[in-house]
Amino acid sequence: MPDRKQTTIILHSMHGGENTVHELPAEVFAKGEALYVRYEEPRMGPHQGSTRATVKLSMDEVKILRHGEVQSEQAFRLGQNMPGFYRSPFTSFQLSTHTQRMHVDLHGMSGSASWEYDLYVFEDCTGHFSISLTIQEAQET
C-alpha cells in the first residue's frame, strides 16, 4: 500500500472570464512515476450528491477521474485530442479535450500542475478552460 499524506490543494479554474478557486483537503500518494490526488468535490447545490475526484499527475499527462453522483473521465496530453466521458443522473455524453498548454512540476508529495484546453462535447467545442492545481504538503506536527 503506498504512503498516503494529507494535504491541502488549491484548484483554480478559469472559463469564459469566470474565475473559480477552491481550497480543499486532499489525500496524496505516489504510485510508480505518477502522483495521485484524491479529494471530495465541493457541492454546487443543496440537492447535489457527493463526488470524489482523483487526479493522476505524471510528467506528460494529467487525468481526472470522478466517481459518485457524477462519473467522468478526462485526460490531458500536450497537443493531443484525448477521449473521455461524463455521466450524471441528468445527462450522459462523450467528450474530448485538446490541450494547448501543460506544465507539471512535482517535488515529492507536493507541487503544481497547470493546463489549458478546449473541451469538445460530441464534436462541438464548448469552451476553453485554464486549470491550475497546487498541492501543499501538510506540515508534520
| DSSP 3-state of 94 | strand
CB-CB neighbours of 24 under 10 Å: 15
Q: How many residues does the chain have?
A: 141
- Distances in Å between the Cα of 84 and the Cα atoms of 21, 42, 61, 133 are 24, 22, 14, 20
Q: Which domains does the chain have, with CATH numbers?
A: 4-137 (2.40.128.20)
Contact between 21 and 31 under an 8 Å Cβ cutoff? The reply is no
39-73 pLDDT per residue, tens: 998 776 555 678 899 999 999 999 999 999 889 99
Q: Is the pTM of this model over 0.85?
A: yes
12-26 pLDDT per residue, tens: 999 988 999 999 999
109-125 pLDDT per residue, tens: 899 999 999 999 988 99
Which DSSP state fits 137? E
Asked whether residue 30 carries a pLDDT value surpassing 60, the answer given is: yes
The cell for 48 is: 447535489
Q: What average pLDDT does the structure give for the chain?
A: 91
